[in-house]
Copies of this chain bind each other. A is one copy, B any other.
Amino acid sequence: MNVSLDAGRLAGGRLYQRVAEQLAAIISEGEYSPGSRLPAERKLAERFEVSRPTIREAIIALELAGFVEVRGGSGVYICDGESDKLASTNLDVGPFDILEARILFEGEAAELAAKKITEQELAEVREALEDMVTENEGEPICEKADERFHMLIARATKNDAIVSVCSHLWALRNSSPVSARILEKVRQAGSKPRIEEHHAILEALEARDGAGARAAMREHLTRVIQQLLDATEAEAVEEARRAVMHNRERFNLIG
C-alpha cells in the first residue's frame, strides 16, 4: 500500500517533513496502535518510496515531537500519549483565532504588567516603540519591534508561564501558512495608525493603570482584527477559513 507523497504540499518543501506528516497521519488514524511497533525503517523507506536517511529524519522529527520512541536494535514504538497532544500540538491555527486569543490573554497580561513593571522595563518598552516608529518603512524590522513590544510586556508580569504563552501565540502566528498569506495582504495594505495604539498602552503602563492597560491592549488588538478584516476581501477570508477547516483533521508536526 503505497502512499503518494506529493499529495500534501502544505509543509515546507523538505521531504522528511512530508514523510513525517504522513507517518503521523497514519499513526493517528490508528493503523498502528499505541505501544506497538512501527515497520522497520527499510520497509518504511520502501513503502514511502524514499531513502532510509529520509525515513530516519522523519522518525527523528516524530521522536522530538513526542509521538514515537526509538529503541535501538529493537524498533520504533508509538508512544501511548493521548490523541489530545497530537491534535493540539501544532494545529494550523488561523489568524483570527490567534488575535481573538491575544485580545483576551494579552489584555490580562497587560493589566498584570501595569502593576509589576519596573522603570527599566518601561524604558525597554519605550525603546521598542521608538524602533517601530523610526523604522516604520522597513516592514520586517517594524514587525520585530512589534513582537518585542508585546513580549516585553509579557515579561514585565514576572510570570514565566505568561511569557511562555505569549511566545507560543507568536509562534503560532509565524508558523501558520494561512496567517502568512493573510498577513502578507495586510502588509501590502499598509499599517500606519498602529503607533498611537501602542503609545496608549505604554502610557497606561507608565501610569500603572492596570484597567487602562488592559483596555488599551484590547482596543489595539481589536483594531488589528478590524484592519485584517478590512484588508482581506471576504472571498479570501472564506478561502482561508475553508483551508483551516480542511486542515483541521491533519496536523503539521513541524514548527
Q: What is the interface of chain A, defined by CB distance below 8 A to chain B?
A: 13-14, 16, 53, 56-57, 60-61, 64-66, 70, 72, 84-85, 88-89, 91, 93-94, 97-98, 100-102, 104-105, 107-109, 112, 151, 159-165, 167-169, 171-172, 244, 248, 254-255
Contact = CB atoms under 8 A, between A and B. Distances in A.
Contact of A161 (B16, B84, B98, B159): B98
A109 B108 CA distance: 11
A100 B158 CA distance: 11
B168 A165 contact: yes
Contacts of A104: 105, 108-109, 112, 162
Contacts of A66: 171, 255
A93 B154 CA distance: 14
A57 B54 CA distance: 10
B167 A172 contact: no
A188 B192 CA distance: 56
- Which residue, of A98, A165, A248, has the highest number of chain B Cβ atoms within 10 A? A165
Nearest to A56: B57
B165 A16 contact: no
B105 A165 contact: yes
30 contacts: A14-B70, A16-B60, A53-B53, A53-B56, A60-B61, A64-B64, A64-B255, A66-B171, A84-B151, A84-B167, A88-B163, A91-B160, A91-B164, A93-B161, A94-B160, A97-B159, A97-B160, A97-B161, A100-B159, A100-B161, A100-B162, A101-B159, A104-B108, A104-B109, A105-B105, A108-B108, A160-B244, A161-B169, A165-B169, A168-B168
B167 A65 contact: no
A131 to B, nearest CB: 14
A163 B97 CA distance: 10
Given A64-B254, A104-B162, A161-B169, 8 more contacts: A16-B60, A57-B60, A61-B64, A88-B160, A97-B159, A100-B161, A101-B165, A108-B108
A22 to B, nearest CB: 17
B100 A164 contact: no
Nearest to A92: B160
A165 B151 CA distance: 16
A57 B16 CA distance: 11
